[in-house]
Chains A and B, each alone.
Chain A
Amino acid sequence: MNIFKYFGEIFGAIKSLWAGMRVTGYYFIHPGQIVTQKYPENRKTLKMTERFKGEVIMMHDENNQHACTGCGICELNCPNGSIEIITDKITNEAGKSIKIIDKHIYHLSMCTFCELCIKTCPSDAIGWGQEYEHAVFDRHKLTKVLNHPGSSLRKKPSKEPNQE
């Protein structure tokens, strides 16, 4: 065994170990580089991006009106059956019987966030919510009714606005 090789190996080893220790040592003396966040404390400043897929929501305007006509395309497109639509029939002022949604049920526990329901919705009634804290103690709480109680279908702006 070559004695020079033997000692050369030892010095090479120490050098490579020192290179690694320099990296960790650098971070040890630079605590400013910490990247983790203190989560519940920074809840106020924590901003989700506008496209963040938190959960499916139905957009309601200030009059508690939504755009969902209950066509059921989202239900059809959902691969996991996480959307169920229960429709109801009412008679409108004109005396015509029309279909409205009674409940737009959304199972968050089954949702895989594939975005197909939102993509295919013809009236853009549903979209992504920014809520990200979904933990609950009972999984039945993850079944949500998307239309707010007492909400109604928004009147479509008529195609030819009346000329004053």
Chain B
Amino acid sequence: MKEVIQDIIIRNSDDYIINMGPQHPSTHGVLRLELSLQGEKVKYVVPHIGYIHRGIEKMCERDTYQQIIHLTDRFDYLSAHMNNEAVCLNVENALEVEVPERVKYIRTILDELNRLASHQLWWCAFGMDLGALTTFFYGLRDREVILDIFEESFGSRLLHSFNTPGGLMHDIHPNFQKRTKEFIKYFRKKLPEYDQLLSNNVIFQMRTKGIGYMSKEVAISYGVTGPSGRASGFSCDVRKNHPYSAYDKVDFKEILDTTGDTFTRYKLRIAEMWESMNIIEQLIDNIPEGDYTAKMKPIIKLPVGEYYQRVETSRGEMGVFIISDGNKFPVRVKFRTPNFANLFVLNKIGSGNKIADIVAISGSLDLVIPDIDR
């Protein structure tokens, strides 16, 4: 019999409640955390979500599969490309379309670039949560280089609906490979700076080590995926377990750690940045020639059935569940977004710490609020 993990919140009417959010600098969006305080100590955390619920799942029911793509950008806007890819892969699998090799390679490279950009932004925001304001600008400075590469190829910096069922919208820009290689070279020099500035800093380590411990059992039971889950030893990397695109062709490590505190989650993301650069370097010179899209019908009708596709976004496992009745519109589209589960664990690992720790823990979970609210 497995141990049952419970953390039912028991509320008292005379609790000293302060609200962190919806309008608060450290919740990274419109999230509301209800903190019950005892002095500086937090007794429990109740997250309230839904402030930017847009009904995307309902909207998907009246959209064709091509049109769904641009909505998925807007969940986790920092890993827009991976979200796009989830839907595209699902549709391609359902139709049993074989996409060209070139597309697979490009998608993988873009995934990793996007992951790098996302982790950079997370790094700046995490530093800022802990009061190190300069990190914000260093992270954004390096992220800007990636966004420039994106802009050249996709025309937009953040929400690039670049994937389409069957392939890509365009071919990559002729400069893409050159600039990506330049970026990797540049960022390999800049990433150690992150460590000097923040990771090795004694104040930072004091703030994060041993804070917000999450065990492997908790991570699995709460469905915490992505770097946050892997920091607890939950081997949840979809890229490794269920390879898609060109991930089965590259040699990379799934970075795992078992310490499970805030500092581990931090270190793991930094390590993932190194690993992402490795993946890109393996692929960038070997992009095969070919078409940038498979032949697709202008109106896509999925065969009747239920399809589930998982991809690894920069925050964890993203799942797309499509139910089709054979029409051009899906019957139901459900998005399993990583942050939804990741936020729920906050009370479990956050209660009992101080206010400042809640900020650090929620920062280390790397929450993106639109991803939760959908």
Contacts and interface: CB of A to CB of B under 8 A. Distances in A.
A–B contact (CB under 8 angstroms): yes
Interface in A93-109: none
A115 B169 contact: yes
A16 B201 contact: yes
Nearest to B148: A49
A79 B152 contact: no
Interface stretch (A18-26, A137-145, A156-164): A18-26
A53 B70 CA distance: 14
Interface string B106-141: 000000000000000000000000000010000001
A24 B197 contact: yes
A120 B71 CA distance: 18
Interface string A1-43: 0000000000011001101101110000000000100000000
A79 B155 contact: no
Contact of A114 (B152, B161, B203): B161
A51 B155 contact: yes
Interface residues of B, number: 32
Contacts of B159: 112-113
Interface stretch (B15-23, B61-69, B273-281): B61-69
B196 interface: yes
B153 A20 contact: no
A75 B159 CA distance: 21
A52 B298 CA distance: 25
Given A35-B144, A115-B169, A17 B161 contact: no
B253 interface: no
Interface in B62-118: 63, 66-67, 69-71, 73
A79 B197 contact: no
Contacts of B156: 52-53, 113
B67 A23 contact: no
Contacts of A24: 134, 197
Contacts of B292: none
A128 B155 contact: yes
B188 interface: no
B334 interface: no
B6 to A, nearest CB: 38
Contacts of A128: 155
A77 interface: yes
A112 B169 CA distance: 15
B286 to A, nearest CB: 24
Interface in A105-125: 112-116, 119-120
Nearest to A13: B202
B202 A16 contact: yes
A13 B203 CA distance: 8
A127 to B, nearest CB: 11
Nearest to B149: A49
A113 B161 CA distance: 8
Interface string B197-222: 11011110100000000000000000
Given A79-B71, A114-B70, A16 B155 contact: no
A128 B69 CA distance: 19
Given A20-B197, A49-B155, A79 B67 contact: yes
A12 B144 CA distance: 34
A51 B312 CA distance: 28
A51 B298 contact: no
A23 B196 contact: yes
A54 to B, nearest CB: 9
Contacts of A12: 202
Contacts of A114: 67, 69-70, 161
A115 B201 CA distance: 45
Contacts of B205: 16
Given A23-B193, A51-B152, A116 B67 contact: yes
Interface centre among B151, B164, B196, B198 (most CB of A within 10 A): B196
Contact of A53 (B71, B144, B155): B155
B272 to A, nearest CB: 22
Nearest to A35: B141
A20 B66 contact: no
Contacts of A120: 298
Interface string B39-72: 0000000000000000000000001001101110
Q: Which 3 A-B pairs have the closest CB atoms?
A: A114-B70, A53-B155, A79-B67
Interface of B: 63, 66-67, 69-71, 73, 134, 141, 144, 151-156, 159, 161, 164, 169-170, 173, 193, 196-198, 200-203, 205, 298
Interface of A: 12-13, 16-17, 19-20, 22-24, 35, 49, 51-53, 77, 79, 112-116, 119-120, 128
